[in-house]
Chain A
Amino acid sequence: MSAGTSNPMQSHQSAAAATHQPLLSVRGVKTYYGNIIALKGVDMDVNEGEIVTLIGANGAGKSTLMMTIFGNPRAREGTITYAGRDITKMPTHDIARLSIAQSPEGRRIFPRMTVFENLQMGASINGLAHFDQDLERVCTLFPRLKERLQQRGGTLSGGEQQMLAIARALMSRPKLLLLDEPSLGLAPLIVKQIFTIIKELNEKDGMTVFLVEQNAYHALKLAHRGYVMVTGNITLSGTGKELLENPQVRAAYLEGGHH
């Protein structure tokens, strides 16, 4: 990873960002569930070192886009490129080996395995090579998990499970982290904690984050850039600040504001 990404706040604002190749680029992607079209030709870019958020109502196709990037379901049309490689037709487990990690919707931790084993599963791609270091790192990020390493995943509270899902994704040392609704069903205080950690990962480690969220206010405040999705189409895009101030976004997603 280049050291130039250490100050992403400026790089995304300049028009120059568009000239070099984005880390992840989605072009004209259409995804179907059977005959039902879920994504109607989506274009989206995530540049290295950015936090990009995707907001939208329930059923807009946010999670579908995230899963499509991971090849499950496959895009029927369009291309997805990651670090210059076409990953549109790659099997999910091979995509995961390209240093992309995902914390999927609904956390999907392994409930009968201990926290420690869950983290081991996250590290299984690199054959536990840096396991001890990475374990220490996620334990510093999430001290709650450290207390509960021997506890079964299923006995954790919702917030702890979400932390575990993110920690598990981090164990593979990803360059690009995909997070699907990390704030789902969590108390505001925990949401704040999790968003702080995402910011820390981005600023300190230069990790690129693609964040799918319902919690538009927090997500847009955190993100460098954002996209708004409505029924399978990207309708708006811009910097986090621009979108926060956009009257349409305010009306649709921030009414009654989470301040």
Chain B
Amino acid sequence: MNAPSITTSSAQDTAVPSRFNLAAALKDAFITALIALGLSIPILSYKTEQNGSDLFLASRWRLVAIFCAIVFVLRVLEHAFLATRAARKALPDPHQATEPVHAEPSAYQKVSRFAIPMFLGVAVSFPILVYLVQGGLNESRYWVDLGILILTYVMLGWGLNIVVGLAGLLDLGYVAFYAVGAYSYALLSTTFGLSFWICLPLAGILAAFWGMILGFPVLRLRGDYLAIVTLAFGEIIRLVLINWVDLTNGGAGISSIPRASFFGLPFTAGEGGFADTFGLEFHGMHRMIFLYYLILALALLTNFVTMRLRRLPIGRAWEALREDEIACRSLGINTTNTKLTAFAIGAMFGGFAGSFFAVRQGFVSPESFNFLESAIILAIVVLGGMGSQIGVAIAAIVLVGGPEMLRNLTFLKAVFGEGFDPNEYRLLLFGMGMVAMMVWRPRGLISEREPSVILKERKAISGSLVKEGHG
């Protein structure tokens, strides 16, 4: 446990009144555990079981013991936590607001220096790593599939980040553009036989167009009101998809959507297929790995465009709009155009992601585009830190990959018994994670905004540090 280190660190500062006292904490935790025991006797310790016509009591003392132990440990941790917090508060804050801040690299810069190359490296080599670790193409299927899922959400998160994070327009109906993209590809390819590579830009353009259509009526709205209208917009699109049966085939969805080809080479076993042309043995995973790199490329494109736009006048105008709309207007920025471009470009990336979704699934139905999807994408942006690209990527991995990881926590069965399925507690943990985030990092994982321009003086400083071997 970390208890001893807490006592030493607070001992350095004798002025701290509430020093962590291990004996007192243990005593208090013991009393709490006793109360828990008392409470659990009527609630937990017996349950009725039926065996044929006989009803008898089965004792569950093991479970009671586990619960009491949990309560005990949590209580000790609570004491330790409160003591460290009190100790930290008693110390003077090293970051005074009026001090010039350029001396020390920000949290963002510290994270990004290591995290961005690492994430990029892992993302690019992911299928190979999985292949090596799992020892075969068949075995790595699950992991590549999960990778595709996560990257789809990373892309959606980055797309929505333009609207919510940069322009500050709270959009609860982003999934509508995802749906427009998916149905664009599904309908264009099944009706006109257009290939994926033609449909992809078309889907983006159509989604951007719908982004503008949504943008016009909501130009004067902000905050909560905007959120409600966009939420309604998302639902309208979904209901239209369900009810316009002639066009969309209603709730049954559109199936047998043509798959993506490798720049014209289909992923088929026969002659002229991808495997045949490159002299490989045919395997279904080739297509999966291709899809993985496709969504990786699309996501990186989204990121690249966003980072570029941030440095251009339009991107700066988005951020200024988020900060203060009235000041924007008095500086000569056309807020109407600024908002519409934010909606349109955000929607365009949603459309790209949607058409990718359609080509991966080979099937679309309105069920895939419900409000929960919008909520998850928004949660990714908010938890990641609005406007932070790397934060959104981390949040997507945690929120989409995390629940998948729960499936693999089989050791919990050893603790809670055979019938325990960690997957059922997914939403509970999700909610707990959200609450914890709101308490400790209310502005997202990476809340610090990185300046879009870094002055030359800063470069000179960091450059000289590198020379001295501190970089």
Interface residues of A (CB under 8 A from B): 70, 72, 91-94, 96-97, 101-102, 104, 108-114, 116-117, 120-122, 124-125, 127-128, 147-152, 155, 157, 168, 172
Query: Contacts A112-B449, A116-B453, A121-B316 given: A155-B97 contact, CB under 8 Å?
Result: yes
What does the 1/0 interface line of B246-260 toward A look like (CB < 8 Å)? 000000000000000
Tell me if A70 and B316 are in contact (CB < 8 A): no
Judging by beta carbons under 8 Å apart, are B316 and A157 in contact? no
Give Cα A122–Cα B333 distance, bound, in whole angstroms.
10
Q: Flag the segment in B119-127, B143-151, B319-327 that touches A.
A: B319-327
Q: Which residues of chain B are within 8 angstroms of A102 by Cβ–Cβ distance? A: 330
Q: Are A114 and B332 in contact (CB under 8 A)?
A: no
> Which residues from B are CB-within-8-Å of A155?
97-98, 101
B313 touches A104 (CB 8 A): no
Size range of the interface on B? 20 to 34
B101, A151: Cβ atoms closer than 8 Å: yes
CB of B317 within 8 A of chain A? yes
* Nearest CB of chain B from residue A84's CB, rounded to whole Å: 20
List, sorted by A's number, 23 A–B pairs whose CB atoms are closer than 8 Å. A72-B326, A93-B335, A96-B329, A102-B330, A104-B327, A104-B330, A108-B327, A110-B319, A112-B323, A114-B451, A117-B451, A121-B316, A121-B317, A121-B320, A122-B331, A124-B317, A124-B332, A127-B313, A149-B455, A150-B101, A150-B102, A168-B331, A172-B332
Given contacts A150-B451, A155-B97, whether A117 and B316 have CB atoms under 8 Å apart is yes
What A residues does B328 contact at CB under 8 A? 121
Q: Do B323 and A96 touch across chains, with their CB atoms under 8 A apart?
A: no
Query: Besides A112-B319, A116-B451, 14 other CB < 8 A contacts?
Result: A91-B334, A104-B327, A108-B324, A117-B319, A121-B317, A121-B331, A124-B316, A124-B332, A125-B331, A147-B100, A150-B102, A150-B451, A157-B98, A168-B331
Q: Cβ of A124 and Cβ of B333 under 8 Å apart?
A: yes
Residues in A whose Cβ lies below 8 Å from that of B316:
117, 120-121, 124
Q: Is the CB of A117 within 8 A of B453?
A: yes
Whether the pair B452, A117 counts as a contact (CB closer than 8 A) is yes
Q: Are A96 and B330 in contact (CB under 8 A)?
A: yes
Q: Among A92, A124, A150, A152, which residue has its beta carbon within 8 angstroms of that of B455?
A: A150
Assess the A172–B451 pair: CB atoms within 8 A: no
Q: Is the CB of A108 within 8 A of B320?
A: no
Which A residues lie within 8 Å of B452 (CB)?
Answer: 117
Which residues from chain A contact B457 at a C-beta distance below 8 Å? 150
User: Which chain B residues border A157 with CB–CB below 8 Å?
Assistant: 98
Q: How distant is B190 from chain A, measured CB to nearest CB, in Å?
A: 45
The 3 lowest CB-CB distance pairs between A and B, nearest first, are A96-B332, A110-B323, A108-B327
When C-beta atoms are compared, the residue in chain B nearest to A168 turns out to be: B331
